[in-house]
Amino acid sequence: MRDRIKVLLTTGVLCGAFMAGSPLTALASVGPGFAEGAYAATILSESVDISKNMETKEPLLTAQVGNVYEILEELEDGWLKIRVNDTEGYLPVSENVQVEEVDEEEMAQIQKEAIESSESYRRQQLVDYALQFVGGRYMYGGTDPHVGVDCSGFTRYVLQHGAGVSLNRSSRGQATQGTPVSADQMQPGDLLFYGGSVNSIDHVAMYIGNGQVVHASTERTGIKTSPWNYRTPVKITNVLG
């Protein structure tokens, strides 16, 4: 898509209008296509900020060069409403943003990538949430990492507060939830269970990517990260869907 630019619309903004040979017109709000075609915004420079809203310009995330976003609506004062992961964001038009018309096939690909990014974005947010507790106290029977937790108390708290997923209290109980996956299928946020067998599980950890897990380990080490195979897991599950 990036190599087949159909309509180049942005070289700057003047009085809320696009400075371009062909104006961007009649973009409809999100729905089954736009009145005058579908458009996408490609980021041309590093570190372009996308805002949660136009008024406060509170940052939603920082886009990177090459990122492509579906345009949902053209707004006043040179702003675009775009689809970002599983939400919406606001992008100011500038020389750092290229707007182009895309066909149905190209838009379908952009939307597919957005769905995939949404899942990875959600999982990364969960990982970031869990990692804030590294260094915290291990406490047998504990359920709050701010005070002290055991292994299943930690995963239960993180999944509940970081992703809205309810888990059973014990590691054995948690192992009955979700969908089993293999080691080469696991993603950040998946749970790894350890023990002598699937019938004698005694520990649970959460995969955080790059071959690592985070877990409430022992009273001596507390909440820490470890290689995922520091022990051989007997089961791995996807509880995020």
DSSP label of 190: -
CB 128 within 8 Å of CB 193: no
Catalytic residue among 15, 146, 161, 203: 203
Among 63, 58, 68, 33, which residue's Cα sits nearest to residue 48? 63
Q: Measured at the alpha carbon of residue 39, what is the angle toward residues 112 and 10, in degrees to the nearest 5?
A: 130
Name the catalytic one among 15, 146, 151, 161.
151
Is 146 one of the annotated active-site residues of the chain?
Answer: no
Asked if 203 is an active-site residue, the reply is: yes
Taking the C-alpha atoms of residue 162 and residue 135, their distance in angstroms, rounded to an integer, is 18
Q: Where are the alpha helices (DSSP H) in the chain?
A: 104-131, 151-163, 171-174
Q: What is 54-97 written as a DSSP string?
A: TTT--EEEEE-TT-EEEEEEE-GGGEEEEEETTEEEEEE-STTE
Q: Give yes or no: 161 in active site.
A: no
SS3 241: coil
CB atoms within 10 A of CB 186: 19
- The catalytic residues are 151, 203, 215
